[in-house]
Structure 1
Amino acid sequence: MSFQILAGSTHISKVPEFLDRVSSVASANGTVIQAMDAGKMAGERHVRFAVQKAMRAFEGNYNSAKDLGIEIMRYASGKRQIEEAFSMGVHEGDMDIVFVIIGGEEEVDRSAEFLKGVIKEKDVMAYSSLKRGLVISQFDITEREIEAAGEELIPDLVIERVALVDVLK
């Protein structure tokens, strides 16, 4: 199984309709597609690590969610509870978005081609000071931790939270 990450900005008028369209593309191509809020991502490494952890959980049969996409979001959010993981989901209005597409290589490419028409592709995953507030809030990172580790290591603190999802089960 391969996966691809696609990121950019979009406008979502109605979340249910948007998710239905994404789900239709996934079904038509035999892929798993998970859409997430790029504003809470601490870089591509964060997304890749969450995807790998979720795929391993499914392979090892210790996943919490029945759906691989939801399991990815659970890891990406750094939250143990599935309900809390939805904090990484999409919202109405203008937003930066990340799609994770999983499946066979050709199927992933077909899904990606469709999704490229839904977003304006650009790097919205990279961590920046503009994301600081959302990221430290999403991952419950304290100012004390930031003082100890250093501002530049906030993405590493996020990776640590993703890693700890398994430990906190």
Structure 2
Amino acid sequence: MEVLEGRLAVEDLDAFVARLGELSERHEVTIQAFDATYLAGRRHLERSVELADRALERGENVARDRAVEILLYTAGRRQIDRALEMGVSEGKNRVAVLFDAGPDGEPSAEARASEAFEDAEQFEPEPTIATAAERGPETPDETLETPNEETLQTYFDITDAERAATDASLEDLVCERVALLEVEK
């Protein structure tokens, strides 16, 4: 799994989604773009991919498309329209774009994900993704390393009382919500 993080300016969402679709087909990998505001961290994405793959393997998936199934797990929801709230929108976005070749773990699959990742870094013309290094030291990295706690608590229905009652991190609680999707089927 590769994750491209940064800021993204999307002028035409349909064109952006089409470009990701082209990359996905060309490299035979799954690509899903997220508004990083809704992500609790890298482990959140890793767990979502793991659970989506397990659902697909067992034939318990809701979506036919692996990228959409991953989106559903990442959102902790079975309704696609609610999960799409986590997607990239037109305008300026903090993003995390996931590249994954599937559960087989073969070196060739990982190489395909890496190639697609490198290809995506070369988006021309717009949209462009400015990575933390490109933004410079005066702008802090605002993607997976700095989750938006207020948004996450609201989106995943995590109360202040729940946080106060546990030593678990916010990412742990979000991952718990993602895992509970299996139980709620």
Larger of the two Rg values belongs to structure: 2
Fold shared by both chains (TM-score > 0.5): yes
In the alignment, the residues of structure 2 paired with residue 27 and residue 144 of structure 1 have an alpha-carbon distance, to the nearest angstrom, of 45
Task: Show CA shifts across 1:116-149 (max 9, x none).
Answer: 2341223511244xx0121111111122212222
Alpha-carbon distance in 2 for matches of 1:21, 1:135: 28
Aligned residue identity for 2:181: V
Residue 139 of structure 1 aligns with which residue? 156
Q: Which of 129, 153, 162 is the aligned partner of 2:169?
A: 153
Query: CA separation in 2, counterparts of 1:52 and 1:7?
Result: 20
Residue among 83, 90, 115 paired with 2:120: 115
Point out the structure with the larger helix share.
1
Deviation at 1:33, TM superposition (A): 0.7
Q: Is the 8 A contact 1:10 1:119 kept in 2?
A: yes
Aligned partner letter, 1:114:
D
User: Aligned partners of 2:157 and 2:61: how far apart in 1?
Assistant: 23
Deviation at 1:5, TM superposition (A): 2.1
> What is the CA distance between 1:111 and its match in structure 2?
0.9
Q: Secondary structure at the match of 1:149?
A: coil
Contact 1:80 1:168 in 2 (8 A): no
Do 1:78 and 1:165's aligned partners in 2 also have CA atoms closer than 8 Å? Answer: yes
Q: What is the match of residue 126 of structure 1?
A: 145
Q: Distance between the aligned counterparts of 2:82 and 2:149, measured in 1?
A: 20
Structure 1: gaps of 5 or more residues = none
1:44–1:125: 8 Å Cα contact kept in structure 2? yes
Q: TM-score, normalised by structure 1?
A: 0.89
Write the distance in 1 (CA, Å) between the matches of 2:96 and 2:15.
Answer: 17
| Match in the other structure for 1:71 | 69
CA contact (8 A) 1:41 1:126 kept: no
Task: After TM superposition, give the deviation of residue 86 of structure 1 in Å.
Answer: 0.9
Q: What's the counterpart of residue 168 of structure 1?
A: 184
Aligned to 2:98: 100
Measured against aligned partners, the alpha-carbon deviations of 1:65-103 in whole angstroms (never above 9, x if no partner) come to 100000111011111222211111111111111111122
Q: CA RMSD in A?
A: 1.6
Question: Which residue of 2 is the match for residue 8 of structure 1?
Answer: 6
Q: Percent identity?
A: 33
Unaligned runs of 5+ residues in structure 2 are 102-108, 123-127, 133-140
SS at match of 2:97: strand
Count of residue correspondences = 164
